Structure 1
């Protein structure tokens, strides 16, 4: 993911906003962090839960992405905490650091996708699932065998009520609200405070397993939470969900059928495709007032117009219906998708000689003077 070049006109001459990015090591959270640091002089704190190197394996991909982000942001007044964002402890630590170093927070960006969450009030561990609701899901799926793409068949059983509720507990708005509560209890919300949480709607093609499934139930809870938070903040601030467009991320690649859908979408949109950084740049412009916020009738910020354009969706549907193993290479950008997945983990990066040994022992970034501590996972 390329970082944008600095834009002095957008950044201004003074210090930038104080921001807290929860989920700063991957996907849209990483994109928002890069754009904020490079073009808006963002100060503050990023939080990510990444595994360190051990004697048997390297650190997680997000660990190295965070280290590289810190290099790109050299000199910025920004720190990275490595801890479980769902825990009360990291909320307290983050609040302490923000209060001591920055004062009140102007912006909180919430971008978490996780397989499980421990409820800090009850201690119960909830596990999220990606399943349809009501009826089983049967659809095409993209499979790579010896690097050659083929079309396979997917069958997912419908989730039960407990699985739906557990997914809402992990991926809904409960933790986002606890973060706002924690900052508000410490009087750390600046006048005009804004908070956004990343969401997705997507096509009716993937709706049965996404928007109409367990993840969709969680996203609906997230959006309901946004409206409740916005009402609670009143004149002091605003809360919104942000509906981003499709992307190849660690989270999205776990969703059944999304590989096929995204590969077709990329072929259809061609140079109109919007990367996470493109969309993060548009989001920052809206949050800073450089562009209209662009709310839909449900109060959501929409960044997905390029994907949800009716002509685009009609073309994707036509290709989806026609797709089989013989035609898939002409209907979808399957090589592009495979390379994008590889780049999430450091592979298929142009200009890298993979025959040359690489240093894997990289410290977690801890800028001098910020008093940041990191915790073992």
Structure 2
């Protein structure tokens, strides 16, 4: 089958198996080029390990720390008429390269929100790991969650709170600037978003692992968050998603106390940089902000994608030689430190104020955003012949 990108409303519904494989290989090669990081981590569990920061975490941990990794994600295999999801191909590629490189790994295709999945993971972890889990990464980015007790389906909403949002956005495929208007959230929108994207499930997972005696002495437990700049605040940090992020951050304090008490371990939030993900591409205003940010950070030699960020999380934050983990005033790890540098944000704001259709190409690099997005689905990857038939 010849696989081409199919894009509807800025969402790509196909994935190229060889392109996804090459992208995984590129990330592995980046970590190999940077070298090993000294740590005591032998076993790591990564939830949401099939794409974005979760996949990059897994690659950095496996190849940077030399740890055994167990990855959990929910992906769809190909059918006769449809390609698999990008994450399906990413998981296959990671398993293939890890096996070739003598790195032990196990990938499970499960809905991490379900209790049965937690039980399955715990059962498999006891068989797979030599000893207990030293590093637990929670990187789920699902839009829906079912409450097993009631059968209620919760759907996250991407809305401002308090008042209607009106601002500038972009169609990143056509590079046409748009006026964006979003009605404010109601109470249900907020509750549902916190239920899906907040810290409740992270807490359930942590407690399940503690009860099963699977977290090692001094284990580290990490979930990811984002803060962002002034111009995305109304739709992001001060909107419904922001409420979910507040919830996951307050959960971190609770889990940190629990882990300190039980295993002398720690739970942290890592606030990461804005990158192109399937989620960030559909948040109004965010792709345009990222396009400006990428251009400025690239010019300053500060640009990072998911794999560069996750390698730096391990090398410069979690496992600095003999040093304490650097934290902000509310105990968060800040990997958005380069993004939020004063000079970077000043330049972003200056560009934002004068941006129009005529100077867009000069002030923002939307082609870089678009390439990252296509690469994520296995398209526009160097070295792949897209005119050839491929097995899906």
Aligned ranges 1:287-366 → 2 under 5 Å: 287-290=318-321, 292-360=324-392
Q: Which stretch shifts more, 289-298 or 333-342?
A: 289-298
Could you tell me which residue of structure 2 aligns to residue 276 of structure 1? 306
Whole-angstrom distance in 2 between the partners of 1:227 and 1:293: 16
Shift of residue 318, structure 1, vs aligned partner: 1.1
Shift of residue 217, structure 1, vs aligned partner: 0.2
**Alpha-carbon contact 2:31-2:311 (below 8 Å) kept:** no
Q: Which stretch shifts more, 86-95 or 233-242?
A: 233-242
Whole-angstrom distance in 1 between the partners of 2:183 and 2:72: 35
Could you tell me which residue of structure 2 aligns to residue 371 of structure 1? none
**Alpha-carbon contact 2:36-2:66 (below 8 Å) kept:** no
Does 2:277 match 1:249? yes
Could you tell me which residue of structure 1 aligns to residue 219 of structure 2? 193
Q: SS of 2:57's equivalent?
A: helix
Q: SS of 2:80's equivalent?
A: coil
**Alpha-carbon contact 1:139-1:154 (below 8 Å) kept:** yes
Whole-angstrom distance in 2 between the partners of 1:8 and 1:279: 15
Shift of residue 289, structure 1, vs aligned partner: 4.1
How does the TM-score come out when normalised to structure 1?
0.91
Could you tell me which residue of structure 2 aligns to residue 370 of structure 1? none
Shift of residue 114, structure 1, vs aligned partner: 1.0
How does the TM-score come out when normalised to structure 2?
0.88
**Alpha-carbon contact 2:45-2:71 (below 8 Å) kept:** yes
Give RMSD over aligned pairs: 1.6
Whole-angstrom distance in 2 between the partners of 1:318 and 1:348: 31
Could you tell me which residue of structure 2 aligns to residue 375 of structure 1? none
- The number of aligned residues is 356
CA distance 1:32–1:358, shift in 2 (3 Å): same
Shift of residue 350, structure 1, vs aligned partner: 1.2
Whole-angstrom distance in 2 between the partners of 1:282 and 1:125: 37
Aligned ranges 1:132-147 → 2 under 5 Å: 132-144=160-172
Shift of residue 72, structure 1, vs aligned partner: 2.2
Whole-angstrom distance in 2 between the partners of 1:267 and 1:139: 21
Shift of residue 120, structure 1, vs aligned partner: 3.2
Gaps of 5+ in 2: 1-22
Aligned ranges 1:134-213 → 2 under 5 Å: 134-144=162-172, 148-213=174-239
CA distance 1:346–1:44, shift in 2 (3 Å): closer
Whole-angstrom distance in 2 between the partners of 1:42 and 1:124: 38
Does 2:121 match 1:94? yes
Shift of residue 168, structure 1, vs aligned partner: 0.2
Whole-angstrom distance in 2 between the partners of 1:289 and 1:80: 29
**Alpha-carbon contact 1:44-1:98 (below 8 Å) kept:** no
CA distance 1:139–1:228, shift in 2 (3 Å): same
Q: SS of 2:338's equivalent?
A: helix
Deviations 1:172-207 (A, max 9, x none): 000000101111111111100110001000001101
Does 2:66 match 1:41? yes
**Match for residue 157 of structure 2 among 116, 129, 138:** 129
Deviations 1:266-287 (A, max 9, x none): 1111121111111101111232
Shift of residue 337, structure 1, vs aligned partner: 1.1
Does 2:52 match 1:27? yes
Deviations 1:200-231 (A, max 9, x none): 00001101000000000000000000000011
